Chain A
């Protein structure tokens, strides 16, 4: 490429043609404008007269200039001019490695970065260098290929939702070590991460390194926390710069289930501060629906923080046995559990019947032995729908006969009478400690403190199912906590009291953790690695680098400890993880992580991503030359006096019309309005244009005939029929659409189907006519029938049935039982009657659909029977002789009935008319 004055030319040798311009000037100058030939008898008098002036025969200088400019524009355009040409500064030779950070931090400017990479690829391609691309977040052996190959594959590179991990960097360094010498261009995401400096020095040993990185700031949002009834949000930026505020959006689902922004908050960075905070105060209902927070306008995984159960406050109903008694507060059976749940759950008090309609997440029954029969069933229903019933034992349960012989539906196990007491003054043995939790237990991984001892408990009867239901046991194997799944919910029984009477469990921190594990309460703070040790979490939805969530598919589960502590990577993707009923969000950016801007050693050139894109301006020049030539046409015509002659306006129009092409949309708009006006001034029957000219003509003539008959016989006075193009025309104006079927008509576009469905829903009627009733009964697979099925498949058509004898279509105007057209098949399908339509005693017909059937399907070729010529005579023969004329008359009557049905709906179905109809029917 040659660069002249900031503009590059791909084929500069064509510019030599500019030298020919002066020659052209001389040539064009000498050619006078073309003469007009005139017949004129007076020419005899003109013979011998010389023109006085000789200058006027030359083309005027401005016309010449116009032409020269046009020619120059063509030459320049063909020379391939390029604005902002990429300058070949010290283009090296040998292979080139493009290294991408490829992390979420670059996602917001990935497009820009891709353009910069493409510019580099173009440059490398021009220099004939082979290129390899290496993404640090997903390192792979780079294949050194021609730049063009990479340009095609560039769109396939997407940012990952994590930073380059140390393992990945080690792998990268191993790969690089094996490669021969190369130059490096490093597209950095402007964030520092461990191991970057080492990689840089490795790369520098192989060749020169050049760094491209965005000048824009990287923003990240930390997971939301809930404190003192407000949601707190922290936003960080990599470079502390001038004051700036960002909008934070709380995303979630509205009651209808649609994703929307539920609330916004503004976080303001002070000048020089890298941290900004925002607070959101939301009602619990709204808060529970939040699925995540995002920084508005930042499309990256770091600018989104997902919300798990942390914000969710469960509603827990506490029901104690003695709430009607006065007593010491510390002796209340609910005291400890209230204390344990208060910080993290919303507590509800009241009786069971009061609480159930509030649909709490959990109901805690503390030492309540019997639940009344009136309450049992609603409670079971509630559990069945996902409620969790937590029961604590106590003296009452121990004393009662509940679940003694048969398992009580509200108890997970059968109980032995009386319970047992260990380690007391009157018993042998020591108070029992808790055994370590088994792997199948939801409490697995929780550390059992030594000081938790149980002195009394209710004891489960050994049953075949008991082993599966135990989720915590004492050191001697006695079940301490049992659980039973009922429907979608579960029943959990603590075999000790909720007070410190029978055990020290409610006094310990383990009690709180067990409540969390049971999802009775949700964790108030982010769980620590050790809290989750031993649990397995399966990814449910994972994020990509842009922050969009995808179904996790069959990604493997991860260990709970890793979920919190391990760095994100291909094996530990940010997203939503689930374990049982718990949900845990793994976010890209955590409270304790920070953003460090990448710093590069002196000597490594760092450049911005902004590329002035190469802009070929050949097209611009060539169209300019065409415009100039058009102007030349006009000027030449006006010079030779032809512009204003009789034919000249048309000529000028023909010349100028292409240039005025933008006026056509306005005309199209006018056309639409005209169409709407024409269709709505009067009722107009319409048919669908099938593309078969003959068929369309018959359909039009048929509707014309039907319109005439309606005009003569009824109070409907239709305007001339309309031919409707489904793709273009608005359908809403027409009460009825006649749609003849041909096997080869084109399928309407999805937009057209959208219009058709809207038409059907808003009360329109489509009369489908397969026109083949003489050769095929409906349902037989004639080509037209198959086409009809194909055409109608995307339509929103209700269930159909053959027209019942008491359908309102049989009596909207004429009393009809046959609906012949050119053929006389009896089959006609309409919307099915509701299943509960019953014939009332003494009535001749049922009370059927309360509305107009949206489709009528048949094959009798009605349009052909209705069709008239311009003089009103029938266009096509129907049948033979008088029988044929009778058939045509019936066809016309069917048309009248159909239009009346569309226009009057179920009017004739109204039972008010029964006496008159009965009278006419002679019954």
Chain B
């Protein structure tokens, strides 16, 4: 293949990926019915929240005379707090995510991007501002942001295990980290504690391939990481299975403990499971935490 055609083929492949991801994400998001997205507390907003008796200190201008005229007591009309939230997304773009054990399964990166973008679509439709952690794409609202997100999400990172991006986190924003968390846990811990320091809460979403859970290998094998930087040779792979699974369980345990400590939520997803349920869980988790935090 000549360099030109090669370049062209790659370019088309890249270009083709974007609308596809977008379309799939829109499609996925369209299946989720948006419920009431109020903040369920009084605040600045257009929607009515409640009437409460006027208290001392309320300015007179706040008295709702239409309601107060119905009785002797004076009422104040409160509106629901409708301030838009910032949600910061981090989808692992590392090489380790580009793994699928069989041809029938999507690779982890694909699933993670799909979930991330679909979640973004949902949030943006709900009026939230969505962006990426780090400085590349700060949270904004509106449909153009979805396009920008899609573009950013399709950029591969050549490093094997990329650490969570924790810079430039907006205080009290929300965050969603989607990764396989196979890399160094210290980086995750650092990111989470830093986020907790800034009052950022969110979700750690753990995406794994079924083979990573099952470890169905036998015989003499050299295991290599996707980028080829790590390798491990064993003479009897099936012998390692139990110990590998122990380590994996320990990692999950550690992650959920970390989440509990920092007030985050931990979710686990396998690529052979339905993306729809994962998206529902993610959306619900984000919503529930907001409610809980309120």
Contacts and interface: CB of A to CB of B under 8 A. Distances in A.
Interface of A: 32-47, 49, 51-54, 56-57, 639-641
A254 B88 CA distance: 111
24 contacts: A35-B220, A35-B221, A36-B222, A37-B224, A38-B223, A38-B224, A39-B223, A39-B226, A41-B96, A41-B226, A42-B182, A43-B231, A44-B96, A44-B161, A45-B244, A46-B223, A46-B244, A49-B234, A49-B244, A51-B239, A52-B236, A53-B236, A640-B219, A641-B219
B99 A57 contact: no
A811 B91 CA distance: 86
A615 B233 CA distance: 52
Interface stretch (B111-119, B190-198, B210-218, B286-294): B210-218
A45 B221 contact: no
Interface in B242-258: 243-244, 247-248, 251
A32 B219 CA distance: 11
Interface in B173-213: 180, 182-183, 209, 211-212
A37 B240 CA distance: 16
Query: Max chain B CB contacts within 10 Å: which of A39, A47, A54?
Result: A39
B224 A39 contact: yes
B223 A40 contact: yes
B247 A45 contact: yes
Contacts of B152: none
Contacts of A56: 235-236
A860 to B, nearest CB: 50
Nearest to B233: A35
Contacts of A39: 99, 223-226
Contacts of A32: 220, 235
Nearest 6 CB-CB pairs, A to B? A41-B96, A641-B219, A43-B223, A57-B235, A35-B220, A45-B247
Given A44-B230, A49-B244, A37 B235 contact: no
Query: Max chain A CB contacts within 10 Å: which of B230, B235, B251?
Result: B235
Interface of B: 96-97, 99, 108, 161, 180, 182-183, 209, 211-212, 215, 217-226, 230-236, 239-240, 243-244, 247-248, 251
Nearest to B239: A52
A41 B212 CA distance: 8
Contacts of B226: 39, 41
Nearest to A56: B236
Contacts of A46: 223, 232, 234, 240, 244
A41 B222 contact: no
Query: Max chain B CB contacts within 10 Å: which of A36, A46, A51, A641?
Result: A46
A51 B96 CA distance: 24
A19 B51 CA distance: 104
Nearest to A42: B212
Query: Max chain B CB contacts within 10 Å: which of A39, A40, A57, A639?
Result: A40
A39 B247 CA distance: 19
A38 B225 contact: no
A47 B222 CA distance: 12
Nearest to A48: B232
A517 B180 CA distance: 122
A43 B212 contact: no
Given A44-B161, A46-B234, 4 more contacts: A36-B220, A41-B97, A42-B182, A51-B234
Contacts of B211: 40
Contacts of A49: 232, 234, 240, 243-244
A45 B220 contact: no
B157 to A, nearest CB: 14
A32 B236 CA distance: 11
A54 B239 CA distance: 11
Contacts of B235: 32, 51, 54, 56-57
Nearest to A640: B219
Contact of A41 (B99, B220, B234): B99
Contact of B225 (A34, A36, A43, A640): A43
Given A38-B217, A56-B235, A47 B230 contact: yes
A641 to B, nearest CB: 4
Nearest to B224: A39
A626 B199 CA distance: 74
Given A36-B219, A38-B223, A51 B236 contact: yes
B97 to A, nearest CB: 8
A41 B244 CA distance: 12
A326 B212 CA distance: 132
Query: Max chain A CB contacts within 10 Å: which of B97, B217, B220, B221?
Result: B220
Contacts of A54: 235
Contact of B230 (A36, A38, A43, A57): A43
Contacts of B221: 35-38
Contacts of A34: 220
Contacts of B209: 41
A69 to B, nearest CB: 24
B46 to A, nearest CB: 48
